[in-house]
């Protein structure tokens, strides 16, 4: 794993690169997440692709990047990452809000995107159209949103806050711990609240078309039996359900191998088919 800074509007975007001999894949994380949400998937890929995951603008190693924020900014940043690595066309994967970022990239830069995979994200969320952005965020990602205004004097307390979430605590592992600590500033979350609000506004009011393969999680952000997306919405979108995972563990736990397999197939379907045969 290598940490790299990529020049983008306003400064440097931090990315994590995992080595691989296959095609380049850029992976976008969720709204209050960071690049290490892809660590377990990268390990399962075992070098079949070269996976590149940015800390998106306003988070973790990219927290100091200025606005304007929103999906157009993420799309431009992802293309800048592709340019940095010399990729004329690139495969994209997006989890949760990252699904909106990659669909926006495909809509704005269609000649630069070879394929897209959505992981429990990228579809319009089932909230009233006139709802306040902060209210919508609390309704959809309540605990994640509330922690942004909280202080945690020690990293142990920050880890304990996440571990109390049954969606994470029941599947706790070193990947989850490292992912959480990447976000910790010494007092709380690295996330820029202005970036979160701008991204949420775009995600809720102007989502790009999401006619791409979709992996769905049957359980939600608190490991509740209803996922972030109700099952009828996932079924209508033709989602492939990943068994026995929630919105987090589809990447950071039991779903990582399944996601890695689909990324490999998306990025290089011919060579993947040969391996599987």
Q: What pLDDT does residue 135 have?
A: 73
What whole-number distance in Å separates Cα of residue 170 and Cα of residue 164? 9
| pTM of the entire predicted model | 0.92
Q: What is the pLDDT of residues 35-91, one digit of tens each?
A: 999 999 999 999 999 999 999 999 999 999 999 999 999 999 999 999 999 999 999
CATH numbers and ranges of domains, the chain: 2-125+191-276 (3.40.50.1820)
Which residues are CB-neighbours of 97 under 8 A, at least 6 positions away? 28, 29, 30, 31, 121, 199, 200, 203
Q: What pLDDT does residue 217 have?
A: 97
Residue 276 pLDDT > 70, yes or no? Answer: no
Q: What pLDDT does residue 209 have?
A: 78
Q: What is the pLDDT of residues 224-237, one digit of tens each?
A: 999 989 999 999 99
| Least confident interval from 15-19, 54-58, 89-93, 265-269 | 265-269
Which residues are CB-neighbours of 221 under 8 A, at least 6 positions away? 141, 142, 143, 144, 165, 167, 228, 246, 247, 248
Taken as a whole, the chain contains a residue count of 277
User: Of 233, 232, 262, 235, whose CA–CA distance to 250 is shortest?
Assistant: 262
Residue 103 pLDDT > 50, yes or no? Answer: yes
């Amino acid at each position: 794993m290598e940490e790299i800074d990529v020049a983008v509007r306003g400064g440097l975007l931090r990315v994590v690169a995992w080595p691989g001999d296959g095609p380049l894949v850029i992976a976008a994380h969720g709204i209050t997440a960071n690049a290490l949400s892809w660590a377990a998937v990268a390990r399962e890929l075992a070098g079949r692709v070269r996976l590149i995951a940015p800390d998106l603008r306003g988070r973790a190693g990219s927290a100091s990047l200025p606005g304007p924020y929103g999906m157009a900014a993420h799309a431009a940043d992802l293309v800048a990452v592709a340019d940095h690595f010399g990729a004329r066309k690139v495969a994209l994967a997006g989890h949760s809000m990252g699904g909106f970022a990659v669909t926006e990239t495909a809509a704005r830069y269609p000649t630069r995107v070879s394929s897209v995979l959505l992981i429990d994200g990228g579809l319009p969320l089932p909230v009233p159209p006139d709802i306040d952005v902060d209210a919508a965020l609390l309704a959809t990602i309540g605990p994640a949103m509330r922690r942004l205004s909280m202080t945690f004097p020690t990293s142990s307390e920050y880890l304990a806050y996440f571990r109390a979430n049954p969606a994470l605590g029941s599947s706790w592992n070193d990947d989850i711990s490292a992912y959480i600590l990447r976000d910790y500033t010494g007092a709380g979350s690295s996330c820029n609240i202005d970036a979160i609000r701008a991204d949420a506004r775009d995600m809720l009011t102007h989502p790009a078309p999401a006619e791409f393969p979709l992996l769905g999680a049957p359980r939600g952000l608190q490991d509740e039996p209803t996922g972030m997306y109700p099952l009828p919405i996932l079924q209508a979108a033709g989602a492939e359900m990943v068994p026995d995972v929630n919105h987090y563990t589809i990447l950071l736990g039991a779903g990582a191998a399944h996601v890695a397999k689909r990324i490999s197939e998306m990025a290089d379907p011919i060579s993947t088919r040969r391996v599987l045969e």
